[in-house]
A and B are shown apart, each in its own frame.
Chain A
């Protein structure tokens, strides 16, 4: 996240990312580093550019300027804020997300998500929380080097949120790098290790999470935390 880490600790580096659309600058010279094996939080108000930055880092959007160095797309996964679900059964969707899993492994992942009884149900008929859990296990099962989570618990109830956080912690313990956005301060404090704060498409503060939440240095960071 910060420049005092050796290059071996860094899994992804973004330099001077600039993104413009229709004459509007959406990301302005954003430079950041993601530590290997860390949980990095992208924070900011709505419209700050969190999802855009995440999409750029993941390679879904090509920036107008700047460079990104990191693992290939094959070693990355992303879970969208609103899960994109195919017109298949639950297990069929999991197979589509992660074709390399065998039947036993698929069943095991569904069991962990307490969805094994709904394996043959149409995936689009699952509740929003179940669809998000399905998207998450589909991403985790592939064992990516880096996992992007765009507000993964935005519309989830307590139990589903707890499941997501547990899975994120487990993946983190196994060494997976996680980059996520969240508007939930308690969750951010529970999970976050590094924080990147965006405001109006600019990166205004990068700090370890404990320092960010206890003693933010930038006035906009203080203002943001007051509202969070």
Chain B
């Protein structure tokens, strides 16, 4: 295989606006960004709560969350499959082999990252601000709100970490999405399929596209971080 061939294919696919490829990229981004968004909405307040308050069950929550951090995506895919398959407890939803199932699987996959990293960020900030918040008489909700605002740059990094995990994941979306063409096929499952079919150049091309997506998002985040640094954030 000519080493430049995949790059040429990737370039021509991208520049020609290849409809199927664009559909795959669009679905990949939609599924992963939705999963990241949902995991941040749930994970950040949970991280803040775990960092700032002691309550019964807190340690158990941390242990479960940390356990899920190291859970292989295929196992999560299997669990979600069992939940949403026709005979499963959530089978009535009828979302198996749909993008919704893929979003659910990726959300479960990245939620522990969101909780663990935000807890870490909030613990550090809470140590810095605890006395001030107490002195100002801030209630529980106001403290969490203030902490989330103060941690906004760290949260950007957390969002990126979650996105990196979600967009690069293949096992879980393969199981619950089924890699159905024009329906649930995303970049990673396309790469797996193309490789198994011997279309290595196309697989490499998709890999390059995946890298380009990651690169673009990282550049955007660096620009954002630079503007935040001007607000006195320690990065």
Interface size grouping (class) on chain A = 20 to 34
A73 B146 Cβ-Cβ under 8 A:
no
Q: Is A176's CB within 8 Å of the partner chain B?
A: no
In the complex, identify which listed stretch (B59-67, B107-115, B128-136, B181-189) lies at the interface while the others stay far away: B128-136
Choose, from B22-30, B76-84, B227-235, the stretch at the interface.
Answer: B227-235
Nearest-CB residue, chain B, relative to A76: B135
Per-residue contact bits, chain B 96-132, to A (CB 8 Å; 1 contact, 0 not)? 0000000000000000000000000000000011011
Q: Is the CB of A123 within 8 A of B137?
A: no
Give Cα distance in the complex from A124 to B230, angstroms.
10
**Nearest chain B residue, comparing its CB with the CB of A77:** B135
Partner of A122, one of B134, B135, B146, B232: B232
B231 close to A88 (CB less than 8 A): yes
Question: What does DSSP make chain B's interface, helix, strand, loop or mixed?
Answer: helix
Chain A nearest Cβ from B233, distance in angstroms: 5
Chain A residues within 8 Å of B233, by CB: 87, 124
CB distance from A122 to the nearest CB of B (A): 3
Nearest-Cβ distance from residue A6 to partner chain B, whole angstroms: 29
Q: Can you spell out 19 A-B residue pairs with CB atoms less than 8 angstroms apart?
A: A58-B135, A60-B134, A73-B137, A76-B135, A77-B135, A80-B132, A84-B128, A84-B129, A84-B132, A85-B232, A86-B150, A87-B232, A96-B146, A97-B136, A122-B231, A122-B232, A124-B231, A124-B232, A125-B232
Given the complex of chains A and B, what is the CA–CA distance between A78 and B131 in angstroms? Answer: 10
CB distance from B219 to the nearest CB of A (A): 23
Does A159 lie at the interface of the complex (its beta carbon under 8 Å from any beta carbon of B)? no
Given A78-B135, A96-B146: A87 and B231 within 8 A (CB)?
A: yes
Q: How far is the CA of A96 from the CA of B233 in the complex (A)?
A: 17
By a CB distance below 8 angstroms, the chain A residues around B129 are 84, 86
Known: A122-B232, A124-B232, A125-B232. A87 touches B131 (CB 8 A): no
